[in-house]
Structure 1
Amino acid sequence: MADNFKFELVSPERLLVSEEVQHVVIPGAEGEMTVMANHAPVMTTIKPGVVTVKPASGAEERYVVFGGFADILPEGCTLLAESAVAVGDIDRDDLARRIQEAKEDVADAKDDKAKTKAEQFLAQLTTLESALAA
């Protein structure tokens, strides 16, 4: 049986998760990554996506995050999200608003660098919208 480790999911508004877990799947900037006990130390940025948590005590839980970063150590993982909410509590209108704002940011970009960044964020949000629809 795999070891458990401490996981915390924190947003500016509140602490969403603080418990012993079997594993966590996070949407890292370089791709999805599964974190388990005794993971090598890593710090990564988080793109908008779904975090899947497998608590030691129960069924998987899913949370939507809108950016941030994760600090992963052998004894635990802390994910500091710019914004986070349980999948069951996601406000589809809020997500649609964020997508619309991202489209406006693409249209209003002043240079290629800003436009590329805005396009990447828009692509992440639309991918997230598709994942939630499934």
Structure 2
Amino acid sequence: MADTMHFSLVSPERSLASMQVTEVLIPGAEGDLTAMPQHSPTITTLRPGVLRATGPEGVVEYVVTGGFAEISTDGVTVLAERAMARNDVSQDDFDSMVQEAAEAHGKARETFQNQPGPVDDAAKLLADMVAMGTHIGMSTKQSSL
């Protein structure tokens, strides 16, 4: 069994990571999972959260807001809707992400009246965004959340 695997993280703006790692903690929509070398092939959707890659040089963390992760026996490829190195996330960045999620929730409530599915999905996205912020030491400035 190999000691490391290849990990790559790509957002629409750029490639954020391409490195050898021993494990990747993925914030999956159905729950967190850890991919390690020789992992069974899997594809999962992402929820807002912190993605953690551990390699020979240490741990690197990224904030992701959604997307997909493809796990193969050779490695992990993450295609994120939005991704930033955790250390680069400012309070303004976090506020912007929460505001976008709050607006999506408001729009879903207007558009899908009496249809709980889409409204519940938007509410979960907003709650996951707020929880991610708490995890990285940020707080929302909006008292209505």
**How high is the TM-score relative to the length of structure 1?**
0.92
Classify the secondary structure of the residue corresponding to 1:3.
Answer: coil
Question: TM-score, normalising length from structure 2?
Answer: 0.85
Instruction: Find the counterpart in structure 2 of residue 39 from structure 1.
Output: 39
Match of 2:86 in 1: 87
Task: Give me the whole-angstrom Cα distance separating, in 2, the residues matched to 1:18 and 1:105.
Answer: 32
Cα deviations across residues 13-48 of structure 1 (Å, max 9, x unaligned)? 111111111111010111111110000000000111
Q: Deviations over 1:39-76 (max 9, x none)?
A: 000000011100111122x1111100110000100111
Distance in 2 of aligned mates of 1:105 and 1:72: 29
Q: Confirm or deny: 8 A CA contact 1:2 1:22 kept in the other structure.
A: no
CA contact (8 A) 1:48 1:65 kept: yes
Q: Deviations over 1:72-96 (max 9, x none)?
A: 0011110000111001101221211
* Corresponding position of 1:63: 62
Q: Give the count of matched residue pairs.
A: 133
Match of 2:129 in 1: 125
More strand by share: 1
TM superposition shift of 1:2? 6.4
What CA RMSD, in Å, does the superposition of the two structures yield over aligned residues? 1.7
Gaps of 5+ in 1: none
1:133 aligned counterpart, secondary structure: coil
Q: Secondary structure of the residue that 1:39 maps to in structure 2?
A: coil
